[in-house]
Every structure is written in structure tokens, then in C-alpha cells.
Amino acid sequence: MTTKKSSKSDAAKSEVRISVSDQVREITVELAADRDEVLTTVKTAIGQGEPLVLTDIRGRQFIIPAAKISSIEIGESAERRVGFAGL
């Protein structure tokens, strides 16, 4: 018996963590865009002083004011494992 992987997990290419000033928690967003596309979007938003607008793999939009961004970590999305098969 085989199972198909979810198309949502296949679509995720990048994971972005954003630290916002005056907030304790980070914002974590999984995106279908690759690292270079995300980096270009972030640089453009910060350079122009416009809000950073990101759409995650579920279609939700995150709007973060550029002036409130403390740091951004861009990495590849990790596949989530379920079960004990990898032990």
C-alpha cells in the first residue's frame, strides 16, 4: 500500500522567519517561492520602505511594515517526518 504526499508539502520551497520589533514571537511563513525570489522581495520592500507582503502555501497573506522588521532568516523548507521509521 502506498500513500501520496500532500501537494502542499511539495509546493513549499522556502521557510522564512521574521523577527518584528516590539514582539516576542517570530513569524514563520512557508512559501512556494525559492530563496532568491524571497530575497529579492525582501530587499525591494526594505529598500523602498514599503510593507513586506508574503503569501504562504495556504494562500494566507502576511503584511509586515518594513520599519518594524528586525531580522529575517530565509532557508529551505524542511520535510516534516511522521512516525518512528527513521530511528
In a domain, 63, yes or no: yes
| pTM of the complete model | 0.72
Nearest residue to 13 (alpha-carbon basis) of 27, 28, 33, 29: 33
Number of domain units in the chain? 1
- Distances in Å between the alpha carbon of 85 and those of 1, 7, 16, 81? 16, 22, 28, 9
Q: Would the CA dihedral through 42, 48, 49, 55 be positive or negative?
A: negative
Q: How far apart are CA 62 and CA 67, in angstroms?
A: 15
pLDDT tens sequence for the chain (87 residues): 554 444 444 556 899 999 999 989 999 999 999 999 999 999 999 999 999 999 999 999 999 999 999 999 999 876 665 666 666
In a domain, 55, yes or no: yes
Query: What's the CATH code of the domain at 31?
Result: 2.30.30
Write the CB contacts of 33 (distance below 8 Å, at least 6 apart in sequence): 13, 14, 41
